[in-house]
Structure 1
Amino acid sequence: MAFREKNLIVLPPVEIAGRYVKRYHVPALGSAGIEPEVEKAAYAVLPELFPEPDGTPPASFVVLHRGGDTGAYLNAYNWTWDSVLHFAGAAAGQPALDCPDLDPTHFVKSDPGVRNWIGCVWELGPFGHERDAWIRHMLAPGTPDLAGYLGDAFPSDVTGPAVSVAPGAPLT
C-alpha cells in the first residue's frame, strides 16, 4: 500500500461543555471536508471524552478523521494536571472498532482497556505542534495565555511533511 498524506483542515476553536477545543479535521481522500452531519455527531459525543476538571485551564485539541470507507474517528487530546495530555477517543461506522453499525454519525466511545491507540499517522500531524504551543503559551510565560494557545494552530495543509522512502529502505 502506497502512503499518501491527507488534507488537514484547521477550524476555529469552540467552547464545548466548558472546555476550549482546537479543531483539526482530516477528510477522506478526495473529499473537500467532513460531512456536516458527521461533524455534528462527533462534537455531540465529545463531552464524554473530557477528563474531570483539575484546575488546569480547560483546553483540548481534537482530530476528527473521516476514513475512506464508512469509518469516522474522533480523537480528543485534553490538557490536564498542568502538563499532561489525556486521551480519549470515539469511532463511528467501523465494525472493527466495535461500532454497532456502518453509520458514520453513530459514535461510540472507545474502550481504552481494549485498544490503547492514540491516533494513526494522519491524526498525529498536529501532535508536536500542540506540545510546543502548550509550552510556549501555558507553561513558559509567567502567566498562562489561554487565548494565545487557542490561536496557535498547526497550519492547514496536509497531515504532515512529505515522506519519501524507497521500498526496503530504513527510516532514519
Structure 2
Amino acid sequence: MAFAEKNLFVPEPVEIGGRHIKRYHVTSDPAGIAPEVEKAAHVLLPELLPPPDGTPAASFVVLHRGGDTGAYLNVYSWAWDNVLHFAEAAAGQPALDCPDTDPTHFVRLTGTARDRSWIGCVWELAPLEHERTAWIRHMLAPATPDLPGYLADSLRTGTTATAGATSAGGGPTG
C-alpha cells in the first residue's frame, strides 16, 4: 500500500455550543474541503461536545475528507482540566454504518451500538501532539490560564507531514 501525506488546512477558530473550537482540515484535495461538507459537519458538532465541567470550554476538531465518498469528523474537547474527551461522526462511508454515500450526511459514531472508539487515522492524528503541548503551555503551566493564547496557537497550513514541525503560536513542538 502506497502512503502519501495529505494537505492540512487550519481555518480560524469558531465558537459553537458555547465552546471555542480550533479547526483542522485534512484532505488530498489541494483546494481544501468543500464548504457544504464543512457546513454539514458544523451542524452535528454541538451533539459531539461534552457538557461544561468547569474546564475552559475549548475543543479542536479534525475534519477529514477521505479519498472515496467518506468524510470524518473527530472532536477532541478539553475536560476535567487536563483530559481529552473524544467524539466522532462520519458521512458517506457505508462501512461505518452511514446510511448513504453523501459526504454531507453526518451521523454520530461514538456512543452508538457499534461504537468503535477510534481516535483517528494517521492523517487525523497529526494535530494531537501539538494540541497537547499547546494546552500545557497556555492553560496548565502558567499561573493564570491563557485561553486566548491557546486558541491562537495552532499548526500552520501545510501537510500532515509538517504538522508536528512548527506552530503559529509557539515555535517547535518537538
Please say whether Structure 1 and Structure 2 have the same fold, judged by a TM-score greater than 0.5. Answer: yes
Please tell me the root mean square deviation across aligned C-alpha atoms, in Å. 1.3
| One-letter amino acid of the counterpart of residue 72, structure 2 | Y
Partners of 2:129 and 2:155 lie apart in 1 by 9
- Measured in 1, the distance between the counterparts of 2:150 and 2:32 equals 24
Partner residue, 1:100: 99
Question: What CA deviation, in whole Å up to 9, does each residue of 1:92-151 have, x standing for no partner?
Answer: 000011100011000000034530100000000010000000000000001100000000
1:155: Cα distance to partner?
Answer: 1.7
Q: After the TM superposition, which residues 1-172 of structure 1 pair with which residues of structure 2 at under 5 Å, given as runs?
A: 1-27=1-27, 29-112=28-111, 114-161=115-162
Distance of 1:104 and 1:77 partners within structure 2? 21
Partner Cα separation in structure 2 for residue 65 and residue 133 of structure 1: 22
Q: TM-score, normalised by structure 1?
A: 0.91
Q: Which has the larger radius of gyration?
A: 1
Structure 2 CA distance, aligned partners of 1:61 and 1:143? 21
SS of 1:40's equivalent in the other structure is helix
- TM-fit CA distance, 1:161: 4.4
Gaps of 5+ in 2: 164-174
Name the CA distance, whole Å, in 2 between partners of 1:106 and 1:31.
Answer: 23
TM-score w.r.t. the length of structure 2 is 0.89
Identity across the alignment (%) = 71
Q: What is the rounded CA distance, in whole Å, between the counterparts of 1:32 and 1:5 in structure 2?
A: 15
Aligned to 1:167: none
Superposed CA deviations along residues 44-79 of structure 1, whole A, max 9, x for unmatched, are 100010011100000000000000111000000000
What amino acid sits opposite 2:94 in the alignment? P
Q: Which runs of 4+ in 1 moved over 2 A?
A: 111-114
Instruction: For structure 1, list consecutive stretches of 5 or more residues without a partner in the other structure.
Output: 163-172
Aligned residues: 161
Q: In the TM superposition, what is the alpha-carbon distance from 1:154 to its structure 2 partner?
A: 1.4
The SS at the match of 1:26 is strand
